[in-house]
Structure 1
Amino acid sequence: MAHPDRRGLPVSTRSSIAAAHYREGVDLMLAAWPGAAEALDAAIAADPDFALAQAARARLHAMRTEPAAARARITAAAACVARGGTERERSHVAVLSLAIEGRSAPALARALAHLEAWPRDALILSLPLGAFGLLAFSGRPDHDQARADLCERHASAYEADDWWFAVSRGWALTENGAVARGRALTERGFSLRRDNANGAHALSHALFEDGAGTEAEALIAGWLPGYDRAGILHGHIAWHAALSALERGDPDGALAIYGEHVRPGATAGLPLNVITDGVSLLWRLGAYGHVVPAGLWDEVRAYAEPYFAQAGFGFADAHMGLLAAATGDRAAAESRIAALTALVEAGTLAAGPVVPAICRAALAFADEDYAACARILEPAAAEVVRIGGSGAQREMIEDTLLVALMKAGEVGKARILLDTRLHRRPSPRDARWQARLTA
């Protein structure tokens, strides 16, 4: 017997209770809200042969960097769907299987094909979207445009009051430069469901790109206390507030937010977020001329040690290179650069040569060889988008280039870069730097 999911697609389960728990679990997962695991576990308990509930639970394990559990669940889902699933369910499980196996390119291709037939399959549509989605980490330089195009292609399949799609579409448009339209869509989606960490996160990005840092801080200050600290985006959303504090020249405020919400041990976030948020905020602090309190870098290094030891994931590699440079671990930095260079030569690093270039530039910056840092980053700047993540996250690399240019005495180049940035996005920090250069 089939029951509908939240968007009307039939799901194969004999249990209406299992279907209800599944709808709740997927909603909570798409909102990055605590309780998704419990809801999906309840769906599986009500019907152990419910393939899509098993697959969604596998996806949640994968998001939490629990690979063994994810593989076990997706194997169970495949067995269930082979015994009696629909064509859509078999395709759904196959897409998630590829993603969980780490076969990102075929997972993306199959997800896009799946969506041509079933565009309302929101869990599959969520895979290519977002700062950490299959498109962002594809290595494509046009992934921002590709996400926006994907949302526009399937917009007619979603009702205007679909909170998840409105937020996802708004975020994609914002990241692709359509900030006013993206912000409006995101605000509308977030208003439809406030218990939605992905909505608060997307709106924080929209406010950042709109130069509305004080609004972002006010939003986060008012909303974050209602989001359980167990939520996977709790620390990252707080990171946005810390970033806004830095923008307006308040390093003490940024450090206070970091200490309470962002640092390892204070957040239950995904390891990728914990590491990259910590590295990027501390790197920015140092690059902007502020003192990073003793022990903070070592704390991030200790947390990061079990993760991303093997080179090949460009976004993580760039941050691990920055971490090694900041902590004076030249051996680790050079080892990662060598491994990344070998992958580039073999043609197997999706993000390409920009990743080892970022790591080399970080070493030069840490050595205070600012001219060398600028020489490395200038030709690579246009390719930084290939590492994925968001514009707010990648701006750290451009900040490094800008500071290197200023410290190397390349005033003309620094002014041109600042003019471009201020035209793209109003920034109180950039305005202060511009005033200093033109004084």
Structure 2
Amino acid sequence: MTADRHGHVLTDTGPEARDHYERALDDLLFFRPAVEERVRAVLAAAPRSPMGHALAVHLGVLATEERAVEAARATFTAFRAGLASDRLTARERRHLAAAEAGLDGDFRTAARILGEIGIAHPRDELALFAGHHFDFLTGDAPRLRDRIGGALDAWDEDDPHYGPLLGMYAFGLEENGHYEHAEQTGLAALERQPHDVWGIHGVVHTYEMRGRFTDGIRFLDARTDAWAGDTLLTGHNWWHYALFSLERGDTGRVLDIYDSALHDVAADGGALELVNAAALLWRLHLAGDDQSTRWAALADAWEQRGDGPHYAFNDAHAVMAYVGAGRLDRAELLVRDRERWLAGTPAGPVPANRAMTADVGLPVCRALIAYGRKDYAGATDLLLPVRYRLHEFGGSHAQRDAVQRTLVEAALAAGRHDLARTLLSERSRLRPVCPYNWSAKARLEERLGAPERAAAARQRAAAQAAGAGLEDHRNENRR
């Protein structure tokens, strides 16, 4: 019997496996692809290691990859079959319970159990990391922040993993609207560990939410060596770079990023890669930019995956791809498949993805299909009831904004001018520096027969896209 560097007992885990486990946690916190090989090394050295198996399961589940989950389930089931649980510590039993809940799609139960571990063992890095990401998958913003904030006092600031914890905390702060605090916390994380790609990601989100897209590009350009190499988050950070470029009106740069970093048509794309690609092309689609060739290749990639009802957030992005490619029949097939799956739900507790699919995922998918059919009134009516519940199927504010913009565009196209005015008033007050908001306002004013107001809004959008506007907004706040 051994213990990790924080003194947590590791049952049936010898010194070699323990060393692999520690290195695996380091790789996990920094999103290095080597984590998968390191986890295999843990189990090769200690096939009965409870924490090795818990780590393997969390790695598979958090990737939102159905195939990865099924592979993890097979190994985990064989492990549990011969397990004498009374030999394990209470912490290890809880980890295995959280892993089992994750495999069953019960993400909220997994997050709750990991939270209990974090309270009793605030330096349990796996519990903190996995719990943080379950909070992200379920859109639980307060826990995304407080799970990490509640553990930080138990950590020595000189610990090599204190920086990644700050990076996680920065993202939690950002998702709760604490943008200045989040930026400073993320920068403090990067002072400790410059290659903390999750910390970089957290700071980038603060720029996105405040309309500081020029600052975001500068920030990423200054740290290219830290985030643009071989990490599990590289493509997603490129997606953020593309969003900044899109706000600046640089469509050429956006498509360069798409082709070089977001969707490799020759590769078997993972779920996150395809989500990034669909979310970016959908924004172009809403702007009337036809990318039919790219849509066709992306829709092919989603079809080849053949995913079942595994994660509703992924389903919505698959439907974006099918609609963008004009494959409305394929999008409707996915919706019917999920409807049949829900109809077969047994009595008793409902796993997270069933609730996500029923309450948010299917309404969003149906709205996207209606939008593709140019049934803008129908798309509007489908999205209105869920607009304040979108967080319940996961993702970040930045990711879910593709759906929020769909509602704006549907309302405009349907002639729902009162609603469009309300939505754009909300958006521009919350994010005063956002060229999209002002260009959409210009289109609304044109339809309302107010050319002078339209021109003023269009001018403001152009100034912001050119990098102006943010400093003026700061000055307005000072006066």
TM-score (normalised: structure 1):
0.87
Contact map agreement 1:33 1:195 (CA 8 A) in 2: no
The answer on 1:400 being equivalent to 2:403 is: no
Contact map agreement 1:30 1:164 (CA 8 A) in 2: yes
Cα distance between partner residues in 1 of 2:244 and 2:266: 20
Structure 1 residue 81: Cα displacement? 7.5
Deviates more, 1:319-328 or 1:390-399: 319-328
The answer on 1:303 being equivalent to 2:310 is: no
The answer on 1:86 being equivalent to 2:59 is: no
Contact map agreement 1:61 1:67 (CA 8 A) in 2: yes
Structure 1 residue 15: Cα displacement? 4.4
Counterpart pick for 1:350 among 341, 346, 355? 355
Contact map agreement 2:319 2:368 (CA 8 A) in 1: yes
- Equivalent residue runs for 1:307-318 within 5 Å: 307=305, 309-311=307-309, 313-318=311-316
Structure 1 residue 246: Cα displacement? 0.9
Cα distance between partner residues in 1 of 2:219 and 2:79: 39
Deviates more, 1:36-45 or 1:241-250: 36-45
The equivalent residue for 2:438 is 431
The equivalent residue for 1:21 is 20
The answer on 1:112 being equivalent to 2:115 is: yes
The equivalent residue for 1:147 is 144
Count of matched residue pairs: 430
Cα distance between partner residues in 1 of 2:165 and 2:84: 27
Counterpart pick for 2:371 among 365, 373, 376? 365
1:16–1:180 CA distance, 2 compared to 1 (3 A):
same
Cα distance between partner residues in 2 of 1:20 and 1:194: 24
Cα distance between partner residues in 1 of 2:194 and 2:12: 30
Contact map agreement 2:200 2:227 (CA 8 A) in 1: no
Cα distance between partner residues in 2 of 1:346 and 1:137: 24
The answer on 1:67 being equivalent to 2:38 is: no
1:62–1:356 CA distance, 2 compared to 1 (3 A):
closer
Contact map agreement 1:81 1:90 (CA 8 A) in 2: no
Deviates more, 1:11-20 or 1:231-240: 11-20
Structure 1 residue 110: Cα displacement? 2.4
The equivalent residue for 1:32 is 31
Counterpart pick for 1:129 among 128, 132, 138? 132
Structure 1 residue 296: Cα displacement? 0.8
Contact map agreement 2:366 2:382 (CA 8 A) in 1: yes
The answer on 1:242 being equivalent to 2:242 is: yes
Structure 1 residue 166: Cα displacement? 1.0
Cα distance between partner residues in 2 of 1:169 and 1:32: 16
2:399 is paired with a residue of what secondary structure?
helix
Cα distance between partner residues in 2 of 1:226 and 1:180: 22
Cα distance between partner residues in 1 of 2:144 and 2:436: 29
Structure 1 residue 123: Cα displacement? 1.0
Cα distance between partner residues in 1 of 2:338 and 2:56: 33
2:3 is paired with a residue of what secondary structure?
strand
1:305 is paired with a residue of what secondary structure?
helix
Cα distance between partner residues in 2 of 1:56 and 1:181: 31
1:350 is paired with a residue of what secondary structure?
helix
Which amino acid letter does the alignment assign opposite residue 24 of structure 1?
Answer: R
Which amino acid letter does the alignment assign opposite residue 92 of structure 1?
Answer: H
- Equivalent residue runs for 1:311-326 within 5 Å: 311=309, 313-326=311-324
Cα distance between partner residues in 2 of 1:306 and 1:386: 27
The CA RMSD over aligned residues, in Å, is 2.9
Counterpart pick for 1:377 among 378, 383, 408? 383
Contact map agreement 2:21 2:52 (CA 8 A) in 1: yes
Which amino acid letter does the alignment assign opposite residue 151 of structure 1?
Answer: I
TM-score (normalised: structure 2):
0.80
Which amino acid letter does the alignment assign opposite residue 128 of structure 1?
Answer: G
The equivalent residue for 1:277 is 276
Which amino acid letter does the alignment assign opposite residue 67 of structure 1?
Answer: V
Contact map agreement 2:171 2:201 (CA 8 A) in 1: no
Contact map agreement 1:129 1:136 (CA 8 A) in 2: yes
Contact map agreement 1:58 1:69 (CA 8 A) in 2: no
The equivalent residue for 2:329 is 331
Contact map agreement 2:170 2:186 (CA 8 A) in 1: yes
Which amino acid letter does the alignment assign opposite residue 362 of structure 2?
Answer: P
Structure 1 residue 274: Cα displacement? 1.6
The equivalent residue for 1:95 is 98
In structure 2, runs of 5+ residues without a counterpart are 446-452, 455-479
The equivalent residue for 2:187 is 187
Cα distance between partner residues in 2 of 1:236 and 1:399: 20
Structure 1 residue 221: Cα displacement? 3.0
Structure 1 residue 340: Cα displacement? 4.1
The answer on 1:389 being equivalent to 2:395 is: yes
Contact map agreement 2:21 2:42 (CA 8 A) in 1: yes
The equivalent residue for 1:157 is 154
Deviates more, 1:332-341 or 1:111-120: 332-341
Structure 1 residue 159: Cα displacement? 3.6
1:407–1:103 CA distance, 2 compared to 1 (3 A):
closer
Deviates more, 1:166-175 or 1:405-414: 405-414
Deviates more, 1:336-345 or 1:246-255: 336-345
Q: Deviations over 1:81-115 (max 9, x none)?
A: 84854322232233223313434343233223333
Structure 1 residue 386: Cα displacement? 1.6
Contact map agreement 2:166 2:199 (CA 8 A) in 1: no
2:195 is paired with a residue of what secondary structure?
coil
1:223–1:22 CA distance, 2 compared to 1 (3 A):
same
Cα distance between partner residues in 1 of 2:78 and 2:195: 31
In structure 1, runs of 5+ residues without a counterpart are none
1:356–1:98 CA distance, 2 compared to 1 (3 A):
closer
Structure 1 residue 395: Cα displacement? 0.3
1:186–1:402 CA distance, 2 compared to 1 (3 A):
same
Which amino acid letter does the alignment assign opposite residue 150 of structure 1?
Answer: R
Which amino acid letter does the alignment assign opposite residue 169 of structure 1?
Answer: Y
1:382 is paired with a residue of what secondary structure?
coil
2:185 is paired with a residue of what secondary structure?
helix
Q: Deviations over 1:157-183 (max 9, x none)?
A: 334451122111111111011111122
Which amino acid letter does the alignment assign opposite residue 409 of structure 1?
Answer: G
